[in-house]
Chains A and B, each alone.
Chain A
Amino acid sequence: MSPETQAPHWEWYYIAMYFYIGGISAGAYFIGSLVELLGREKLREISRIAYYIAFPLICITPILLIADLGQPARFWHLFFYTKDITPYINHQSPLSVGTWALLIYSGMSFLSFLNVLVADGRLKSPALRSLLKLFNRIPHKVYAAIGSFFGFFVAGYTGVLLNTTARPLWEATDPLIGSLFIVSAASTGAAVIARALKRQNIVSGEMLERLELFDRVAMIFELLLIIMMVIIAGQYASPILRGWYGLMFWGGTVAVGILAPLWLNWSARRPTTSVNNPVLLGAVLILFGGALLRITLVQAGQIP
C-alpha cells in the first residue's frame, strides 16, 4: 500500500453519477436484449420498455464525463491521438478501453431505440428511417447481442477502473468493485424496468414475477460481494465503515437499498400480500441504494 497517493478529486455529481446512470442503462439494455434473444413473446414488453429507457439514459452520461474534464473541449482526444490524428486506444487503461466501449454501446442502444420507435409507429423522421433501414439488413438480434456485451462492459469497467489505482480503499478492494458494479447495474436495470412497466400499467403478473426473481438473485449476489469486499479490504475498508460514508454505505446501500427490497420482494411472494405497493417501493429503494453505492465507493476512496 502506498502511504501518500493523491486523490483525483472527481466530483460525485459527475463521476459517481455517470457510474450509476451508465449502469442502469446497461443493466436495462442487457435484460431487454436477453429477453429479445430468448424470443419470449409474453415478455416482449420488457424488451420494449428496456430499449426505451437505455438510450436516453446513456445520452446523459457523456455530458457528465465531459463536464468533469479539466479541458472539456479536448474530449475528442480520447478517440484520436492529436499528434497524428489516428484512432487511439490504450489497452492498459480501463478509461481508454471503456470510452470506446461506451461509444459502441451508445450506437447499439440507439439502433434498438429507433427499432422500438418504428415498431410503435412513432418514428416520423425520414432520415432516421432510412438510416435504420440501412442497418436493418443485419437482424436486430445481432445488434442486441453486441450491445448487451458492450453494455456489460460499460457497467463493469468503471469498477475495474477504480480497482486499477493506488488509492488505498480502491487497491484493497481489488478485484471486486467491477463485479459489484455489474451486479448493481443488473439489479437497478431490472428495477427501472419494473418501475416503468408499472407506470404504464401494461404489466402482466409473469413479467413482474420474472423481474423480481432476477432482482432477488442479483441482490443476494450483491450482498455477498459487499461482505467479501469488506473482508478482503481489512483495515483499508475504514473509509466505508466510519463517518458519513459509513452511514451512507451500511444504512443507505445495504439496509435501504438491498435488505429492505429483499424483504419486500420476499414478502410479495406470499399470495396473501398485495403485490402492487412492494414492487413500486422496492424498485425505488433499489435505485436509491445503487446511487449511494457508487457515491460512497467513489468518494470514500478519495478522502485523505
Chain B
Amino acid sequence: MAKGMFVDTSICTGCKACQVACKEWNELPGEPAHFHKVPDRPYQVAINFTGNSYDNTGQLSATDWRHVRFIEQFNENRTEARWYFSSDSCKHCNDAGCLNACPVKAIVRTDMGNVFVQQDVCIGCKYCIPSCPYGVISFSEQSGTVHKCTLCNDRIHNGLGTACAKACPTGSISFGEVEELKKRADARLAQLKMRGFTKANIYGYTEAGSLNVFYLFMDEPSVYGQPEHPVVPQRRLFRSAAITVLTAVAMAVAALISFREQGTKKNGEVKP
C-alpha cells in the first residue's frame, strides 16, 4: 500500500519545524548558495537569504528538501495583509517525470510508493532536473549527484512516519496510507466549504498520475506556486519522436532526389 502525506495548508502556521526536522533527520548541510566569502572574514558569511520575506530559503534545493512557502499578499498601503503558508516538498508522483527520465535507474519507486534516488547509482547527468514539472529535484556540486525528499525512506521502512510530519505542531502535515489520507482530506474540504471557504481545493488527485504527497489549498494552486496543469514530459514523447522520424524520412527523400543518377536539369537545357 502506498504511503504518502496530506498537507493541509489551512492550518499551517509557517513555523518551519518541518524544515528543521527534515534537515536534522537527513543530516542536510546549510544551503551552499546562501553562504559567500566576504573581504576581511576568514569564514563564509550567510548573505544570500531572500531578505524580503519570512520565507528563508526561497525554493527547494539539494540541501533543502522541504521549504515552507510564504505567500505574502498586501494591499497598496500595507494596512491589510493575507498570509498563506504551504510546506512544499517532493510530491512522489505516481507518474514521476524524474523517474521516467533517469537513464541509469538511479531513481526508483520502493514498495511503499515513494520515489527514491539511489546515490551510489546516480551519474549526475542532470536530465531529471528539467523533467520534474514541479522543479523539485536538484543537483549538488558536492556529491555530483541529484537529491530530493525520500519520504524519509529509512524511517518509513522501519515503521516510523516522516520526520516533518512528526515535528509538525498543528497537524498540517500528516503521514499515512494515501487512501486513508484522502478520506481525511475530503472530510476537511467539505468542512471548509461548509464554512464558506469556496475557493478551497485539493491538489494532487489527478495531477501527474496522482500525487502521493497532496495538498489542501485555500486558493488556486498557482497562488501557491504550483502548476495548474502539470504535464508529465514523457507523455509527449511519442508525438515528439514520431514528428522527428517523419522529418528524417523527408530529409532522406530530399537527399535521394539531390544525389540520384539523373541529376538536376542543367540551366538552359532544352527539351527536344
Which of B123, B126, B135, B146 contacts A10, CB < 8 Å?
B126
| CB-based nearest B residue for A149 | B248
Contact flag A271-B267 (CB < 8 Å), given A34-B255, A82-B121, A93-B101? yes
Q: Mark A267-301, 1 if CB is under 8 A from B, else 0.
A: 00101000000000000000000000000000001
In the assembled complex, A88 has its CB within 8 A of some CB on chain B: yes
Do residues B127 and A95 form an inter-chain contact, with CB atoms below 8 A? yes
**Which chain A residues border B127 with CB–CB below 8 Å?**
8, 93, 95, 161, 165
Q: Inside 8 A of B230's CB, which chain A residues have their CB?
A: 2, 166
- Asked if A206 is at the interface of the complex by the 8 Å CB criterion, the answer is yes
1/0 per residue, CB under 8 A from A, across B234-247: the answer is 10110111111111
User: Which residues in window 37-65 of A have CB below 8 A to B?
Assistant: 38, 40, 43, 46
How many chain-A residues does the 8 Å CB contact rule pick out? 72
Determine the interface band of chain B, counting residues with CB < 8 A from chain A.
Answer: 35 or more
Q: Are A7 and B143 in contact (CB under 8 A)?
A: no
Which residues of chain A come closer than 8 Å to B231, judged between CB atoms? Answer: 2, 166, 171
Q: Does any Cβ of A come within 8 Å of B132's Cβ?
A: yes
| Among A4, A78, A174: residue with most chain B CB under 10 A | A4
Docked pose: A77 CA to B264 CA in angstroms: 49
Cα A164 to Cα B127 with chains together (Å): 10
User: Is A30's CB within 8 Å of the partner chain B?
Assistant: yes
Binds A, one of B40-48, B102-110, B161-169, B175-183: B102-110
B251 within 8 A of A: yes
Give the distance to chain B from A217, nearest Cβ to Cβ, in Å: 5
Whether the pair B240, A166 counts as a contact (CB closer than 8 A) is: no
Interface segment out of the listed A116-124, A208-216, A236-244? A208-216
Residue of A nearest to B229 (CB): A1
**B30 interface residue per 8 A CB criterion:** no
B250 touches A221 (CB 8 A): yes
**Interface 0/1 of A90-105, CB less than 8 Å to B:** 1011111001000000
Q: Are B255 and A31 in contact (CB under 8 A)?
A: yes
Whether, in the assembled complex, B145 has its beta carbon less than 8 Å from a beta carbon of chain A, the answer is yes
A133 interfacial contact with B, CB 8 Å: no
Q: In the complex, what residue of chain B is closest to A187 when comparing beta carbons? A: B251
Shortest Cβ distance from B78 into chain A, in angstroms?
Answer: 25
Inter-subunit contact A166/B237 (CB<8 Å):
no
User: Contacting B138 at CB < 8 Å: which of A6, A68, A90, A170?
Assistant: A6
Contact A99 B103 (CB under 8 A): yes
Interface digits, B252-272 against A, CB 8 Å rule (1 contact, 0 not)?
101111111101100100000
Interface contact tally, CB-CB below 8 A: 222
B240 and A8 contact, CB distance less than 8 A:
no
Q: Does A130 contact B (CB under 8 A)?
A: no
Q: Given contacts A38-B259, A43-B259, A82-B120, are A163 and B236 in contact (CB under 8 A)?
A: yes
- Inter-subunit contact B103/A8 (CB<8 Å): no
The one of A43, A74, A182 that contacts B244, using a Cβ cutoff of 8 Å: A182
**Residues of chain A with a CB closer than 8 A to B247's CB:** 156, 178-179, 182-183, 225
The answer on a CB contact under 8 Å between B244 and A175 is: yes
Q: Contact mask B182-224 → A, CB, 8 Å, 1/0? A: 0000000000000000000000000000000000000000100
Q: When the two chains form the complex, which single residue of B102, B139, B251, B257 contacts A183, counting CB atoms closer than 8 Å?
A: B251
For B127, give the chain A residue with the smallest CB separation.
A95
The reply to whether B126 and A160 form a contact with Cβ atoms under 8 Å apart is: no
- Within the complex, the shortest CB–CB distance from A94 to chain B, in Å, comes to 7
Residue of A nearest to B245 (CB): A156
Contact A78 to B103, CB < 8 A, known contacts A171-B231, A183-B251: yes
Residue of A68, A157, A210 with most chain B CB atoms under a 10 A cut-off: A210
B232 to chain A: closest residue by CB: A166
- A40 vs B261: C-alpha distance in the bound complex, in angstroms? 7
Among A6, A30, A83, contact of B121 (Cβ-Cβ < 8 Å)? A83
Report the separation of the CA atoms of residues A75 and B263 in the bound assembly, to the nearest whole angstrom: 46
Interface status of B4 (Cβ within 8 A of chain A): no
* Chain A to chain B: the 3 pairs with minimum beta-carbon distance, closest first: A70-B124, A70-B144, A178-B244
**Which residue numbers of B lie inside 8 Å of A, CB to CB?**
59, 97, 100-106, 120-127, 129-141, 143-146, 222, 225-227, 229-231, 233-234, 236-237, 239-248, 250-252, 254-261, 263-264, 267
Interface residues of A, Cβ cutoff 8 Å to B: 1-10, 30-31, 34-35, 38, 40, 43, 46, 68-71, 74-75, 77-78, 81-83, 88, 90, 92-96, 99, 152, 156-157, 159-161, 163-167, 170-171, 174-176, 178-179, 182-183, 186, 206, 209-211, 213-214, 217-218, 221, 225, 269, 271, 301-302
Question: What 19 additional pairs, Cβ within 8 angstroms, besides A3-B226, A159-B244, A174-B239?
Answer: A2-B230, A4-B227, A9-B126, A30-B251, A70-B124, A70-B140, A71-B123, A78-B123, A88-B105, A95-B103, A156-B248, A165-B127, A166-B230, A174-B240, A179-B247, A182-B247, A183-B247, A213-B264, A217-B258
- Ordered by A's residue number, 10 sampled pairs between the chains whose C-beta atoms are within 8 Å are A34-B255, A40-B261, A70-B141, A90-B100, A90-B102, A92-B237, A95-B127, A160-B244, A163-B236, A166-B230
